[in-house]
Chain A
Amino acid sequence: MNKSRNFISWFVALSFAALALFIANLWFGSVLINWGKIFQVLFHPEKTQSTAQVIVLSYRLPMAVTALATGIILSLSGLVLQTLFRNPLAGPSVLGISSGASLGVALVVLSSGLFHFELTTFPLLNNLTIIVAAFAGALFVLAIILVVSARVGNVITVLIIGIMLGYAVSALVSVLQFFSRSAELHAYVLWGLGSFSKTTILQSVMLLVTAMAGWGIVLFFAKPLNALLMGESYARSIGIPVQSIQRILILLTGLLVAIGTAFTGPIAFLGLAVPHLARALFKTSQHNILIPGTAILGANLALLCNLIAKMPGYDISLPINAVTSLIGAPVIIWVIIKSRHIKF
């Protein structure tokens, strides 16, 4: 099997690339910290008491871990949803889950102005409140999707309802925006731009554990996912309980996206673009290869986007969504033109 040996060497290479990008994420930033210091901070933290420690441990490290984890979570969700809905343009946003997270955050942030309590006065509470609000909003939409999918049974109907829910929720958010003050509006817009830097080290590690667990669980679905490439009827005919598999996978990806979005805000294009990159790179549609392949590519791309967003050497940084979109959109266009396979 030439293909699988080829894949293993790619996977190893990409793992090293991810490691290199991870280290680069610790190294580069608006301040350059030299190698020795980073090493010291990471492995002998008791010896150092400096700004370097603060920068690396409470800022760059959680950010890099979050980028890594989010890259894995979103790309894998995108892959699963594209196969599940048999639609190359499906991604984490199609189920309306990120819109749900936005609604949760909008309700908390924007209504704080209406009810005259100042979130901004409690920064730590603020962070946690927003995570909880985003998660609750995402779960709310996910619950609706699950109820609907149990009733209608047709996965394309679920897809359309998810997209429509997203629109409805966005409409609600825009009403809230309309009635809110500019300070809250600014805070909300900032959240909407997405960021890997809103997590503590503990939160980022939790996110990484979630990502790894999600990866492990999705791997067990490689076989039914492969079968679904031939459509629901063929999958059924080889003994796969299609409807329950669909529901489990919607729940699983929904939870993953909800958790990811809660910590980072909506991140555009990663989930949509990475599975296409993985297919183009590994030249296969078999999920036993695509699942690890997509995860490792997603990790690489998220770390790379984060590195670019940090604008090493400059005092400013770009919103991560701008970078993922600027990289993701051309990737999609390139994939479409190169293989001309987005067909309906």
Chain B
Amino acid sequence: MEKTVLHIENLTNGLSLSRGKKLVLQENLHLRLQSGQFVCLLGPNGAGKSTFLRILMGFQPALAGTISYDEQKLKDISLKELSHLAAVVLTDRFSDPYLTAMDVISLGRYPYGSLIAKLNTEDTHVIQQIVNTLNIGDLMEKVFRQLSDGEKQKVLIARALVQDTPFIFLDEPIAFVDSPGRIEIMEMLSDIAHKHHKGILMTTHDIETALEYADILWLMNRGKPIETGIPEDLAMQGKINDYFDKKAIQFDRFSARFRLQDKKTSATLFIKNNSLETFWLWKALSRKGFKLVNVETFPEKGLGFYFENREFILLHDHKPIRRFSNIQSVLAEVEHYLDI
């Protein structure tokens, strides 16, 4: 399939304020997004993610630089043409009491219709197909504002899909969605990017989810250039901490999670982390602030855990000293053994 590419060159992200003042968020951005890629634009609140999306959509002008869809510059593209190039999922709320999910999705076909607000057979066919793919048939007749946040996002994604554009931009689509819903939406978006060959750019401040699903991350923070790369590289190189510069909270490269620094205990525990049980034990102990080291064989000195015969076994200097049937009991008693 032919590739469509969004080029961003020399762009200055920011806002024009009143009286000629400007708020510059980032300068000299060079980025490209192509169809088939699922990109997450990550950054803390106030980094300028939404502003950036608004600029890409032509809702507001860039302070400097050019954006082009393939060879065509954004400023030369008419609203009508743009509606065939990019579809959006926004954070704008609307609460009309009778607007159904079907009404919302139908709006995605408007760029294709005539003056009359009626769907033709092709429109109906496209909508039906997308509705089946996303498995949201049972939502269609429901009133949009009565749907859950996760369902709303699915309907909005369906609306963007029926618009049949090479690019889809989503602003914080998982912000108010519960964890299973997040996974569902992220799977959905990554599927759409790869199978339907669309360039998807979504903003989020949920790093852990983005790391897991995005093909490429764009890291954004105020006054810094945007850092791009595949999630694993960025995480491994410790770049993620640079973009979320909160002193007390650090991104843990080993667990791929954020955590508070400087917890009270700093005792080291060795864990033979080779099963599901030890994985959860690891999570629990690290939540309590223990420094954990993953080992194959335990060292001569120190405390260590391994899992055997449905029990967590605590080792002290190679000697098993205590067995625990669950993690709660480990947490309750582990501190007593630290002073040994």
Q: Which residues of A contact B (CB under 8 A)?
A: 86, 220, 222-223, 226-227, 229-231, 233-234, 236-241, 279, 283-288, 339, 341, 343
6 nearest A-B residue pairs (beta carbon): A239-B83, A341-B97, A285-B98, A223-B117, A239-B80, A231-B92
- Which residues on A sit within 8 Å (CB–CB) of B86? 237
Give the interface segment out of B63-71, B106-114, B197-205: B106-114
A-B contact pairs, 29 of them (CB 8 A): A86-B94, A222-B116, A223-B110, A223-B113, A223-B116, A229-B103, A230-B104, A231-B90, A233-B57, A233-B88, A234-B90, A237-B82, A237-B86, A237-B87, A238-B83, A238-B108, A239-B84, A239-B111, A240-B79, A240-B110, A279-B97, A279-B98, A285-B98, A285-B103, A286-B103, A287-B117, A288-B116, A288-B118, A341-B95
Please pick, from B57, B79, B84, B96, the residue contacting A285 in the complex, using a CB distance under 8 A: B96
The answer to whether B92 touches A233, judged by C-beta atoms less than 8 angstroms apart, is yes
The answer to whether A288 touches B111, judged by C-beta atoms less than 8 angstroms apart, is no
A-B residue pair count with CB separations less than 8 angstroms:
81
Q: How far is the CA of A229 from the CA of B104 in the complex (A)?
A: 9
Question: Nearest chain-A residue to B111 (Cβ)?
Answer: A239
The answer to whether A236 touches B59, judged by C-beta atoms less than 8 angstroms apart, is yes
Question: With A238-B83, A285-B97 as given contacts, are A227 and B116 in contact (CB-CB < 8 Å)?
Answer: no
- Which residues on B sit within 8 Å (CB–CB) of A240? 79, 110
B139 within 8 A of A: no
Please pick, from B84, B88, B98, B110, the residue contacting A283 in the complex, using a CB distance under 8 A: B98
Q: How far is the CA of A236 from the CA of B110 in the complex (A)?
A: 11
Question: Nearest chain-B residue to A289 (Cβ)?
Answer: B117
Interface of A is mostly: loop
- Which residues on B sit within 8 Å (CB–CB) of A284? 98, 103
The answer to whether A339 touches B107, judged by C-beta atoms less than 8 angstroms apart, is no
B131 to chain A, nearest CB (A): 16
Question: Nearest chain-B residue to A86 (Cβ)?
Answer: B94
The answer to whether B79 touches A241, judged by C-beta atoms less than 8 angstroms apart, is yes
B29 within 8 A of A: no
Question: Nearest chain-A residue to B88 (Cβ)?
Answer: A237
Q: How far is the CA of A230 from the CA of B110 in the complex (A)?
A: 13
A215 to chain B, nearest CB (A): 15
Given contacts A231-B90, A239-B82, 18 further A-B contacts (CB under 8 A): A220-B115, A222-B117, A223-B110, A223-B115, A227-B107, A229-B103, A233-B59, A234-B107, A236-B79, A238-B110, A238-B163, A239-B111, A279-B97, A279-B98, A284-B103, A285-B96, A288-B116, A341-B95
Please pick, from A239, A279, A288, A341, the residue contacting B110 in the complex, using a CB distance under 8 A: A239
- Which residues on B sit within 8 Å (CB–CB) of A226? 103, 107, 117
B284 within 8 A of A: no
Q: Which residues of B contact A (CB under 8 A)?
A: 57, 59, 79-80, 82-84, 86-88, 90, 92, 94-99, 103-104, 107-108, 110-111, 113, 115-118, 163
Q: How far is the CA of A220 from the CA of B116 in the complex (A)?
A: 7
- Which residues on B sit within 8 Å (CB–CB) of A236? 57, 59, 79
Question: Nearest chain-B residue to A279 (Cβ)?
Answer: B98
A180 to chain B, nearest CB (A): 44
Interface centre among A222, A231, A239, A241 (most CB of B within 10 A): A239
Q: How far is the CA of A343 from the CA of B95 in the complex (A)?
A: 8
Question: Nearest chain-B residue to A229 (Cβ)?
Answer: B96
Q: How far is the CA of A21 from the CA of B79 in the complex (A)?
A: 47
- Which residues on A sit within 8 Å (CB–CB) of B87? 237
A339 to chain B, nearest CB (A): 5
The answer to whether A229 touches B117, judged by C-beta atoms less than 8 angstroms apart, is no
- Which residues on A sit within 8 Å (CB–CB) of B97? 279, 285, 339, 341
- Which residues on A sit within 8 Å (CB–CB) of B59? 233, 236
- Which residues on A sit within 8 Å (CB–CB) of B113? 223
Question: Nearest chain-A residue to B57 (Cβ)?
Answer: A237
- Which residues on A sit within 8 Å (CB–CB) of B95? 341, 343
Please pick, from B83, B115, B117, the residue contacting A286 in the complex, using a CB distance under 8 A: B117
The answer to whether A288 touches B117, judged by C-beta atoms less than 8 angstroms apart, is yes
A277 to chain B, nearest CB (A): 13
Question: Nearest chain-A residue to B91 (Cβ)?
Answer: A233
Interface centre among A220, A234, A236, A283 (most CB of B within 10 A): A234
